Structure 1
């Protein structure tokens, strides 16, 4: 068949153990507007991966049921191949030993592939692999996980995971503690083998699901364990989870890249101090739309690996209708500061639109809760807020709540009692009217090294519209 050699491999192995996730610590700590659907961003085609060369081999695997094992060593699968999993409902799927130094192997669906109930997909020893549910034309998400009620994880990552993309997948009624879990035990010593890198999750849809992604790790007591470098989480739609707590929790990361995600209608029954995105380390958080929720959109506990301070960036986000707590939190802890191994992170919070955020008791809800950064600096500028209720001791500043010794530099922020008072046309897209006081009234974005820090993302608004860098508008929308 020319260069396309089809090999039919029907594999059935014994039932392997599911990897349970024990419940650990819980991440704690006016008139309601009409709930409106935010505009869903469409992910650009294959922007999160490098397009692989034309495959030399296509492997067709599976029978449509039972336990499927795809082991690169056993099957002798070369790089730049495509593996297509036959449609059906499987008891388990295990993917292992894809450790390629060059090229990419794609694992795709061939029709709809489901794991229903207490079923699990496992990846072990993975490098240069793309797992995608876009293998069948007309089927946007060809891998579906649904109707799970136990705490055992649906997708378990094990051993070495590098240069791995997981995309075009759907989770529905998956009430597990962690839908996707990785608990790396690697101890960081500076070598490439002592951390995981370049992991991407994209175009994933979740409805009534537990925490989507949880990566364990720590940087304390003289050791850096489970470090992830460069993780990208993009184009996730997560809705209708009344008690989820955190949607994404990464506990030790250098360089996260979280963008173009939608979270709506979560934590209606959860009163902990939640972080919808709960990140420990440093990175950038932008173009996200978080609405009708409880908890901070981002809890960023910041530090840098090594001795060079990194900068954590929070920009171009829309955060609205929080039942409790403000939009963002920045905080550093002495336990993460290890001489010669880690240091502080600086921070910049700019061009965010935040509104109708309600306090929890005497704790206020503003754009930013700022604790000590233990030597790091913080700039807060070009942010817009509306309809905040000031409570507690620090009740004169609508933009940030200063909670410790870090004194931020704040300027060109704007607050009004309602979004309409600022000339915003609606509270779904937050589009600016022609006479809006926010239009072209922000401070310049030039001269801040944002070109490098944001990879040019700062030059457009949350919807991709070009932004004036010398006279940007205030808020996330131009």
Structure 2
């Protein structure tokens, strides 16, 4: 038992504060995405192009601006009813930044983004203002609407508050045709944003029906989101995400009355969910409805997350659906769940609450290892680690469970952080 406890300490030390004992590094798993620090893009300086009057409706239309590489479009500070960004396709990086605090502050006030590529919209344009684009007090409409497909679009350093509809929305009706870039979104990054007292933060629609894919996003990255104080159910939904990278997000104090079986993140596709903190919540941290696009099986990696204090349900879920696996178009994916710390799960005790619920993966494998759990008041009768709900049998190794947080070496659950 002494040897096993040493291994347990090594696993837990990844997540605890610096006061904990230092543990030897765990060997990385092949295929795992590296952790990279997120920082605001610093462009090679181009021309500064001022736009806007600080009020009314603003249209930024690239077709009439003669844009050149690394140009910075600076939006004059003020409060706008709407900002339409369209037709920016210079073939090289273009930036839209704030000049002062730029707000969309009222019902129906919004930003539309249509037909853009190689564009970064960033609220870091003024020294001393961290979130220079603000959307607030909009009860009825979206804050940002992405129309159609985009290529290499980054949205960062925004603040959202008191928004009653989906904050960032794309309907996802584009029909995917391999080789045609206009038929899908690629390299969409949503970084360094804060969101409080809103509805769902992201909803990207789409489907796989009869071998037809709609709303495909390749290389979706969502990072450094601080989302809190919401009863929205799902925080992020993406219907078709190929090679997603969701990391370093903090989700706290959500769904105090919501009783749907939702996921905080609900993502269909394959990719990685790692280094996220989800606490004081209801719902699985991620419902990974997994499949691969094309004919080569991919992996879904869920690792180095901290999930604590859930009112309902297990930390994670992995599941597939036969109707969404179409020969020659999509295929199964494999799941790996490892190096996570999860505690105080499903405190309502109205369903099983363990590390991961495992459903049928229709050919995919599921490996669950090196996870630490504590205080699961309603585990599956057969396991504190997995809740097997279908024919896919997960392979377990080196997972550990403690009846209390203190037994796991956690003196203060609220001080757990992701390292």
TM-score between the two structures when normalised by the length of structure 1: 0.78
Distance 1:380 1:345, change over 3 A: same
The within-5 A match list for 1:228-243 is 228-241=217-230, 243=231
Whether 2:169 is the aligned partner of 1:156: answer no
**Equivalent residue number for residue 335 of structure 1:** 323
Pair 360,333 (structure 1): closer, same or farther in 2 beyond 3 Å:
farther
2:384 paired with 1:398? yes
Partner residue, 1:45? 39
- Where does residue 410 of structure 1 map in the other structure? 396
Cα deviation for residue 294 of structure 1 reads 0.4
Cα deviation code 1:234-261 (max 9, x no counterpart): 00000001x2011100011101100000
After TM superposition, the structure 1 = structure 2 runs for residues 245-264 of structure 1, keeping only pairs within 5 Å, are 245-264=233-252
Shift of 1:360: 5.8
**Does the alignment pair 1:146 with 2:140?**
no
Match of 2:68 among 78, 85, 90: 78
State whether residues 352 and 384 of structure 1, in contact with CA within 8 Å, keep that contact through their aligned partners in structure 2. yes
- Residue aligning to 1:469: none
* Counterpart contact for 2:266–2:287, Cα < 8 Å: yes
Instruction: Kindly indicate whether residue 295 of structure 2 is the aligned counterpart of residue 307 of structure 1.
Output: yes
Structure 1 segment 205-216 matched on structure 2, within 5 A: 205-216=194-205
Does the 8 Å contact 1:256/1:283 carry over to 2?
yes
| Alpha-carbon distance, 1:274 to partner | 1.1
Cα distance in 2 for residues equivalent to 1:141 and 1:85: 14
Secondary structure, aligned partner of 1:335:
helix
State the distance in 2 between where 1:409 and 1:419 align.
25
Q: 1:317 to 1:324 in 2, by over 3 A?
A: same
8 Å CA contact 2:312–2:351 kept in 1: the answer is no
The answer to whether structure 1 residue 116 and structure 2 residue 105 are counterparts is yes
The aligned residue for residue 345 of structure 1 is: 333
Query: Which whole-Å CA distance do the structure 1 matches of 2:192 and 2:325 have between them?
Result: 35
Match of 2:53 among 49, 55, 63: 63
Task: Say which of 31, 34, 45 aligns to 1:54.
Answer: 45
User: What is the rounded CA distance, in whole Å, between the counterparts of 1:133 and 1:192 in structure 2?
Assistant: 31
Query: Using the alignment, how far apart are the partners of 1:369 and 1:217 within structure 2?
Result: 25
**Paired residue secondary structure (1:357):** coil
Cross-structure match for 1:172: 161
> Any gaps of 5 or more consecutive residues in structure 2?
1-15, 18-34
Matching residue of 1:383 = 371
In 2: Cα distance, 1:58 partner to 1:44 partner: 25
Distance 1:428 1:139 in 2: 29
SS of match in other structure, 2:296? coil
User: How much does 1:283 deviate?
Assistant: 0.8
Asked if residue 135 in structure 1 is aligned to residue 125 in structure 2, the reply is: yes
Q: Is contact 2:349–2:377 with CA below 8 Å preserved after alignment?
A: no
For residue 44 of structure 1, report the CA deviation from its aligned partner: 3.8
TM-score, normalising length: structure 2: 0.89
Alignment match, 1:188: 176
- Is 2:312–2:345's contact at 8 Å kept on the other side of the alignment? yes
Runs of 4+ with >4 A deviation: 359-362
Cα distance, 1:42 vs. partner?
12
Structure 1: gaps of 5 or more residues: 1-37, 432-461, 464-478
Q: What displacement does 1:361 show?
A: 5.5
The SS at the match of 1:388 is: coil
**C-alpha distance in structure 1 between counterparts of 2:90 and 2:289, whole Å:** 34
Which of 212, 227, 236 is residue 223 of structure 1 equivalent to?
212
Contact 2:224 2:247 in 1 (8 A): yes
Identify the structure with bigger relative contact order (alpha carbons < 8 Å, sequence gap 6+).
2
- The question of whether the paired residues in 2 share the 8 Å contact of 1:42 and 1:235 is answered with no
2:193 paired residue number: 204
Provide Cα deviations, 1:333-387, integer angstroms capped at 9, x if missing partner. 0111101111000010000000001166652011100001000001100001111
Answer yes or no: is the 8 Å Cα contact 1:220–1:337 preserved in 2: no
Displacement, 1:74? 1.7
TM-superposed CA distance for 1:159, in Å, is: 2.3
Q: Deviations over 1:139-160 (max 9, x none)?
A: 000011111111x211011123
Contact 2:346–2:378 under 8 Å retained in 1: no
SS at match of 2:149: strand
Decide whether the 8 Å contact of 1:268 with 1:293 is kept in 2.
Answer: yes
Post-superposition offset of 1:121: 0.5
